[in-house]
Amino acid sequence: MSELLELNIPTTYRILVSSFGIYLIVILFTRIAGKRSFSKMSSFDFAMTVAVGSIIATTILSSSVNLIDGIVGLACIYSLQILIAIGRRLDFIKKIVDNSPLLLMDGEKILEDNMRKARVSQGDLRSKLREANVTSLSQVHAVIFETTGDISVLHKSQDVDLDVWLLKDVRRS
């Protein structure tokens, strides 16, 4: 039992220095790359977040990875994030990196095929409609499965038509 509590001062010191250093670098790189680094995530953003977490953990806990190696690894990942964010302005890169939003309801009509594609159950849909204060399906203009996995509910309004620009990149099937 006492062996478990025994401190290895060089290892403990390395962990403390690595933790402090890598923490400061993550803050700096996140400030440079922007808040998108950890915002609502596309699949690429998720992969980036997992990679950053792995590099942080390995840098802190592995004696075979020093602080400089961890910083270089983080710099590479954040640089890729910035390049992809810039590249997303081009349609072909955006199609590779991001999922397209998908229409789940067109007015009152539930699009079953799209629900299956998005792996959204009717229970999930009902829950989101209730969350959006929908009391009747006649109040729904559209329900969209967003690129982040969120579900957006657009309400009908008697005096205002839905601007088609809002549905520009939404796949209907």
Residue 7 predicted with pLDDT over 60: no
72: DSSP letter: H
Q: Give yes or no: residues 16 and 80 share one domain.
A: yes
Domain count, the chain: 2
Interval 96-139: pLDDT, tens: 877 789 999 999 999 999 999 999 999 999 999 999 999 999 99
Q: Give yes or no: residues 121 and 74 share one domain.
A: no
Interval 140-153: pLDDT, tens: 999 999 988 889 99
Neighbours of 164 (CB within 10 A): 7
Which residue range is the domain that position 160 belongs to? 99-167
End of a domain among 96, 127, 147? 96
* Cα–Cα nearest to 33, from 70, 73, 74, 82: 82
> Phi/psi zone of residue 21: left (φ > 0), alpha (ψ -120 to 50 degrees), beta?
alpha
End of a domain among 48, 70, 96? 96
Q: Give yes or no: residues 29 and 59 share one domain.
A: yes
* Three-state SS at 151: strand
- Residue 172 forms part of a structural domain: no
> Where is 110: in which H helix or E strand?
strand 109-110
CATH of the domain at 141: 3.30.240.20
Q: Give yes or no: residues 106 and 158 share one domain.
A: yes
